[in-house]
Amino acid sequence: MPNSMKDPLNEKQSETGTNDRPDSIRTTTTMMPETNWNSIYTASMLSFIGTVQFSLYFSSMWPYVQIIDRSINETMFGWIIAIYSVGQIISAPLFGYWSNKIQQVRLPLFVGLALMFMGNLCYLSLELTTIPKLYILLFGRFMTGMGSGNVCLLRTYASTASTSKDRLRAIAFVTCGQALGATSGPAFQLLFTSFTYPGTTLFGHLRFNLFTGPAFLACTMNLFGTIILLFIFKEVYAGLHHEEYNKIVRVENGESNKSETATTKASFYKSCKKSL
User: DSSP string of 132-158?
Assistant: -HHHHHHHHHHHHHHHHTTHHHHHHHH
pLDDT of 249: 44
DSSP state of 203: E
- DSSP 3-state assignment of 110? helix
Buried b / exposed e along 24-54 (16+ C-beta atoms within 10 A)? eeeebeeebbebbeebbbbbbbbbbbbbbbb
**CATH of region 37-236:** 1.20.1250.20
pLDDT in tens, the chain (276 residues): 444 444 444 444 444 444 444 444 444 444 566 888 999 999 999 999 999 988 888 888 999 999 999 999 999 999 999 999 999 999 999 999 999 999 999 999 999 999 999 999 999 999 898 899 999 999 999 999 999 999 999 999 999 988 888 899 999 999 999 999 999 988 898 888 888 888 888 887 889 999 999 999 999 999 999 999 999 998 888 766 545 444 444 444 555 554 444 444 444 444 444 444
pLDDT of 248: 44
Distance CA 50, CA 84 (A): 12
CB atoms inside a 10 Å sphere around CB 148:
28
Distance CA 207, CA 270 (A): 53
Distance CA 250, CA 259 (A): 12
All CATH 1.20.1250.20 domain ranges of the chain, comma separated, are 37-236
Distance CA 79, CA 184 (A): 23
pLDDT of 254: 53
Q: Which residues contact 58 (CB under 8 A, 6 or more apart)?
A: 185, 186, 189
Q: Which residues contact 140 (CB under 8 A, 6 or more apart)?
A: 118, 119, 120, 121, 122, 123
Residues in the chain: 276
Distance CA 226, CA 50 (A): 12
pLDDT of 87: 96
- Asked if residue 8 has a cis previous peptide bond (ω within 30° of 0), the answer is no
pTM, 2 dp: 0.77
Residue type, 131: I
pLDDT of 3: 46
| Phi, psi of 202, deg, nearest 5 | -90, -55
236 contacts 161 by C-beta, under 8 angstroms = yes
Give how far the C-alpha of residue 17 lies from the chain's centroid of Cα atoms, to the nearest Å: 44
